[in-house]
Structure 1
């Protein structure tokens, strides 16, 4: 079976290609719309031709139209092409903002976080989405979905990572359509009375009622957090330790309402609605009700991208089952992806969850039958176990390169956790939905709550046991974007070479393997020759790093404070050995001299001329006299200094035309040494 024989697969691939072109080349709306219109006209002309043997022109223009549609869909999401987007107003100025809460995010230790839609700016209609960061206040309840607030606070840009290989939260939010954030205290806003109500707000209120009811039903704290995630898609109340256990056990997908959950809901709907098929046009009614129930559950689960994707795909599956025709699962998968990217949001393509889910489902559709052909045990128990292992193995093969690229780790016991949990997930979900129904009806027996709580506790204990087998958790694996591409090429060619043992397939797999090895060797050699100095940005402390090939010296005052920052560098730069040392006052690296001023009192007359001066802990010196005496080539201020000192130091350097670098503004200072 060749995937490219399916028209939906071809169209989806070319739509993705168009989205990538539009995003990375910033294609304008005018150009993409113009090209789409031209190719649509040519498409129509080619369709009206009488001689349509192979209809090559029609197919050619169809693919070009699809590419242009991808580019146009990206252009339509850009704020520059939306005159009412809030970024097209004058920012930042003191403006009267009218906002509507769209989504509640997981809070941290100090702040609540929300997504909000812009309704008005200074009374003028506007749109767009922002991130709200509100300080926790025990006297004021947190915002709810659909609440509307007014504030005069200024919108702020979302900070970029200040250290090498830090998580780029600004880029992540940008792909969600969020470009600014708003920080609020309890006195910075007031809530509008009688705010308009949306369907999303109604479902959020129902979800809140369900969660409140479950909280009063004798469930444990950890168990309640898992129940909310399993049934309602709300992971905000899961403890960090529990989430880490599921992640290390390779079972974190169980905590997200996605394809697995929606598939079970579809089967439950078909089972419950089966009697309707006896009525006239009963199959039509059952199909309609099934789709309504699926999308109703999607709204109840918060319409997250994973839920939208899964419900879209299984809506196609429900229709295919209604037709009772042999339909390709790849067509269903491709159509759901095409539908979501074109009609909902093309930027979903860049989200990790979207990539992981489709990679997993595609891999299951593709590899599961092949794995089943390898072994077909006669024993029913062995057969079912092999099916579960095959599904888990197929999914993990599909997501392995993406997991290594984003998370740099791989849970080796994923098949154990899936074998122990997935067979009972239908029972867990079905019983959970029954408990919600009984609770809403006010007739939930306490005995059922106790049984369900013990069931969730047992599942958590199993996951915890699997996660504790740390020997099988492979962490801190360096993996770049080219390795990602080459790994997928290797998987495809290797599978084809094993199933269709032709010379060209074996040659392609060998070339991919050689290419991957050559890239690993070349990148290792390149990184082994690098030498650089890095001044990290860390509030309250100083750290100077010296990388020489695969070795890293960490000179710092507090190793615990910088260990996470160092770990990110170690993974990405493939560091073999790390040495922690106490930070000294002067260093010499290959002709580069560095002076570190981080003591309360400095007698600068003792210092000779230096190339770089690093300021830390706001040293008490006459800065102007110091500069005139030492005459350094550059000044670097790290994150341990008082913010009030930075402007004065910067002005003194500007007056002397001396380069000044503050890590709090520009990020970690990196000096390449040749």
Structure 2
């Protein structure tokens, strides 16, 4: 197959290019509208002049590509525009307000909070719109469900951004899914709540009924939570330690209903429905059955955005895999991505979208090559070999994205998947049977006992695999351009090799003369190594940073080869202090360097700069003048007296201070013309 012969490949490329351009450079919507109109008119004009001439064809192609480039740009701009009554423009920042909201989607609970996405309807008496992240402390034991309406007296906080170099930008992530606020609910500030199952749609009522039935079924807590995650997409009851063990073992897709999970299910379903192909129009019948099964699965899990996206993609793929035309699967994959990005261009920047397409593209492209390397004449062996090759292909596909976002690679992913994937259809089938028997009221003791034993064994096995920490490669950091070059090298090399694989038993593949795919792969590899080497040897910047750490203080000193982290985390409990220290150790300034850790003292010197740290006791040396001052752990000081005594260059307040004190300090510093920064709003502060 000649890859550029399919027009949608080129169209999708320019659509994506336009979306990326619009994200980096925001142009007025009217500019995109004029550009779209001009591109359309040029394309129309090119069809009217010498329809089949080289010039008209080239002009038409350029105009069409420009049209989709500007279409991608304007779609992203329009997606990011907020309604005129959005709460972000109506709220009073930093002040409590009466907020009316409805819980619409439940998220996985973490160690501290139960979390929902909620639609905000009123601020006081003012009607508004927009989504916010709502959190309830797990210790408060508030049993709210999707569909409940609440009236609370709280403030809508702005989600945290990447305050330290290399931190995850949570604000940008929430913005990409239309969530612009964060509400932490205190139970004493809930004025009214309304549990309204009559207002819920039928699907939600059925799912809640199933959850209640499962709770009373006799399943143990952990197996029940795993079934809820697998079959219903409800991960709020899954133990965070269980999630960590599945992630470390390389089998997190078993718990997370992602594109990788749906892709593996599609391949298993195709294997189970091969007999349909013997019928007349068997390919079309099998495609229909696969699509119906995938969407039935999506309905059962609650039609979350990630599942809808994944099932939409694999609906196209299911058809493409059964068409006789060469390359039809790639065509279907391209068309599904085009449809999804037209629907919501922000999907391009979501981790789930990237993982889904990288996984399925790798499965479709690389798995047949791997499977063809060895042929088994035993169905059982061939089944396990297929699972192994699917796992390797998918893991190759998601490796770059996973390293970029999560910075780790599970070395035992093949072992974990070989153990779990063969029994995954059995688990899902048994869980569906259990739900059916519970709904119609038949005895289920035998089935719940079997599921308890099987799932407990699986969880214990996964925990054992994840305990081999030496096989978990962590702290791998790559940049976005390294990720792109990595995929360019990989896929170009595979596309070079694919046409030369033969189905002969004697000769697995043969090579002809190199083509441009091999040249692209080699050029990308050379560029990757060259830029990496340049950054390694040319980087010599020395940095003195006051970092942001909630309820703690941290200062980083770094140069080309070494880094020193100074911390004061004494008010934290042991667990939180350990977690915070690990996060601070892995900021961008410390990666790949020899890192030392020490306690933060009252004075920090680095080169010609000095930082005076004033802790909670409020003690400082009045003889030190014109220094940089760090206020730590809400010191009891008179800020005006401090300014008069020390004449500071700059005053910094970090995340260990109370917000109301920071606001008061800022007012005083503004009045005294002293530069004041706080890490809540400004992130890490560089000391000159």
Tell me which interval the TM-score lies in, with the shorter structure as reference length. 0.7 to 0.9
Where does residue 147 of structure 2 map in the other structure?
A: 146
CA 1:43–1:267 in 2, change beyond 3 Å: closer, same or farther? farther
Q: Does residue 494 of structure 2 align to residue 495 of structure 1?
A: yes
Which SS does the other structure have where 1:553 is aligned?
A: strand
Q: Which shows bigger deviation, 152-161 or 480-489?
A: 152-161
Cα pair 2:649 2:674 within 8 Å, conserved = yes
Offset at residue 96 of structure 1 (A)? 6.5
Q: Does residue 596 of structure 2 align to residue 579 of structure 1?
A: yes
Offset at residue 22 of structure 1 (A)? 2.6
Offset at residue 97 of structure 1 (A)? 5.0
Q: Does residue 159 of structure 2 align to residue 158 of structure 1?
A: yes
Find the partner of 1:524 among 532, 536, 552.
Answer: 536
Where does residue 442 of structure 2 map in the other structure?
A: 443
Offset at residue 129 of structure 1 (A)? 2.0
Offset at residue 91 of structure 1 (A)? 5.3
Where does residue 503 of structure 2 map in the other structure?
A: none
CA 1:202–1:124 in 2, change beyond 3 Å: closer, same or farther? farther
Where does residue 419 of structure 1 map in the other structure?
A: 418
> Aligned partners of 1:96, 1:541: CA distance in 2, in Å?
32
Where does residue 594 of structure 1 map in the other structure?
A: 611
Find the partner of 1:553 among 564, 576, 590.
Answer: 564
Q: Does residue 175 of structure 2 align to residue 174 of structure 1?
A: yes
Where does residue 65 of structure 2 map in the other structure?
A: 63
Cα pair 1:274 1:286 within 8 Å, conserved = no
Cα pair 1:229 1:255 within 8 Å, conserved = yes
> Aligned partners of 1:296, 1:503: CA distance in 2, in Å?
44
Where does residue 473 of structure 2 map in the other structure?
A: 474
> Aligned partners of 2:533, 2:370: CA distance in 1, in Å?
32
Where does residue 634 of structure 1 map in the other structure?
A: 650
Which SS does the other structure have where 1:102 is aligned?
A: strand
> Aligned partners of 1:543, 1:550: CA distance in 2, in Å?
20
> Aligned partners of 1:40, 1:589: CA distance in 2, in Å?
60
Q: Which shows bigger deviation, 518-527 or 124-133?
A: 124-133
Where does residue 632 of structure 2 map in the other structure?
A: 616
Offset at residue 271 of structure 1 (A)? 7.0
Q: Which shows bigger deviation, 126-135 or 70-79?
A: 126-135
Which SS does the other structure have where 2:73 is aligned?
A: helix
Offset at residue 516 of structure 1 (A)? 1.6
Find the partner of 2:547 among 516, 536, 540.
Answer: 536
Cα pair 1:530 1:548 within 8 Å, conserved = yes
Offset at residue 277 of structure 1 (A)? 11
Which SS does the other structure have where 1:157 is aligned?
A: coil
The 5-angstrom pairing of residues 300-339 of structure 1 reads: 300-319=300-319, 328-339=328-339
Offset at residue 62 of structure 1 (A)? 3.4
> Aligned partners of 2:449, 2:16: CA distance in 1, in Å?
48
Which SS does the other structure have where 1:36 is aligned?
A: helix
CA 1:41–1:298 in 2, change beyond 3 Å: closer, same or farther? farther
| Residues 405-426 of structure 1: per-residue CA shift (max 9 Å, x gap) | 1111111111111122212222
Which SS does the other structure have where 1:390 is aligned?
A: helix
The alignment's C-alpha RMSD in Å is 3.6
Cα pair 2:407 2:477 within 8 Å, conserved = yes
Cα pair 1:438 1:444 within 8 Å, conserved = yes
Which SS does the other structure have where 2:115 is aligned?
A: strand
> Aligned partners of 2:590, 2:176: CA distance in 1, in Å?
26
CA 1:383–1:272 in 2, change beyond 3 Å: closer, same or farther? closer
> Aligned partners of 1:124, 1:587: CA distance in 2, in Å?
50
Cα pair 1:21 1:27 within 8 Å, conserved = no
Cα pair 2:245 2:463 within 8 Å, conserved = yes
Which SS does the other structure have where 1:190 is aligned?
A: strand
Which SS does the other structure have where 2:210 is aligned?
A: helix
CA 1:216–1:397 in 2, change beyond 3 Å: closer, same or farther? same
Cα pair 2:551 2:569 within 8 Å, conserved = no
Offset at residue 268 of structure 1 (A)? 5.8
> Aligned partners of 1:261, 1:504: CA distance in 2, in Å?
34
> Aligned partners of 1:90, 1:540: CA distance in 2, in Å?
27
Where does residue 31 of structure 1 map in the other structure?
A: 31
> Aligned partners of 1:276, 1:506: CA distance in 2, in Å?
37
Where does residue 185 of structure 2 map in the other structure?
A: 184
Where does residue 670 of structure 2 map in the other structure?
A: 654
Cα pair 2:266 2:314 within 8 Å, conserved = no
> Aligned partners of 2:268, 2:133: CA distance in 1, in Å?
37
> Aligned partners of 1:276, 1:98: CA distance in 2, in Å?
54
Q: Which shows bigger deviation, 281-290 or 374-383?
A: 281-290
CA 1:267–1:53 in 2, change beyond 3 Å: closer, same or farther? farther
Q: Does residue 370 of structure 2 align to residue 359 of structure 1?
A: no
Q: Does residue 527 of structure 2 align to residue 515 of structure 1?
A: yes
> Aligned partners of 1:97, 1:542: CA distance in 2, in Å?
34
Where does residue 100 of structure 1 map in the other structure?
A: 102
Offset at residue 450 of structure 1 (A)? 1.1
Offset at residue 359 of structure 1 (A)? 0.3
CA 1:590–1:276 in 2, change beyond 3 Å: closer, same or farther? closer
Cα pair 1:73 1:342 within 8 Å, conserved = yes
Cα pair 2:150 2:190 within 8 Å, conserved = no
- Flag structure 2 segments of 5+ consecutive residues without an equivalent: 499-510
Offset at residue 226 of structure 1 (A)? 1.5
Offset at residue 366 of structure 1 (A)? 1.1
Which SS does the other structure have where 2:687 is aligned?
A: strand
> Aligned partners of 2:410, 2:21: CA distance in 1, in Å?
34
Find the partner of 2:114 among 109, 112, 118.
Answer: 112
Cα pair 1:435 1:444 within 8 Å, conserved = no
Where does residue 133 of structure 2 map in the other structure?
A: 131
The 5-angstrom pairing of residues 370-381 of structure 1 reads: 370-378=369-377, 380-381=379-380
Where does residue 6 of structure 2 map in the other structure?
A: 6
> Aligned partners of 1:290, 1:372: CA distance in 2, in Å?
23
Offset at residue 123 of structure 1 (A)? 6.7
Q: Does residue 586 of structure 2 align to residue 568 of structure 1?
A: yes
| Residues 625-664 of structure 1: per-residue CA shift (max 9 Å, x gap) | 4432332322223333444443443344334322222233
Cα pair 2:114 2:138 within 8 Å, conserved = yes
Cα pair 2:626 2:649 within 8 Å, conserved = yes
> Aligned partners of 1:619, 1:194: CA distance in 2, in Å?
48
Offset at residue 38 of structure 1 (A)? 4.1
Offset at residue 252 of structure 1 (A)? 0.8
| Residues 121-166 of structure 1: per-residue CA shift (max 9 Å, x gap) | 6777654322223455857531x32334445644332232433332
Cα pair 1:9 1:330 within 8 Å, conserved = no
Offset at residue 10 of structure 1 (A)? 2.7
Which SS does the other structure have where 1:257 is aligned?
A: coil
Offset at residue 602 of structure 1 (A)? 2.8
Cα pair 1:39 1:61 within 8 Å, conserved = yes
> Aligned partners of 2:60, 2:395: CA distance in 1, in Å?
39
> Aligned partners of 1:394, 1:157: CA distance in 2, in Å?
40
Cα pair 1:536 1:543 within 8 Å, conserved = yes
Which SS does the other structure have where 1:156 is aligned?
A: coil
Which SS does the other structure have where 2:665 is aligned?
A: helix
CA 1:7–1:126 in 2, change beyond 3 Å: closer, same or farther? farther
The 5-angstrom pairing of residues 75-94 of structure 1 reads: 75-80=77-82, 82-87=83-88, 89=90
> Aligned partners of 1:599, 1:152: CA distance in 2, in Å?
31
Which SS does the other structure have where 2:605 is aligned?
A: strand
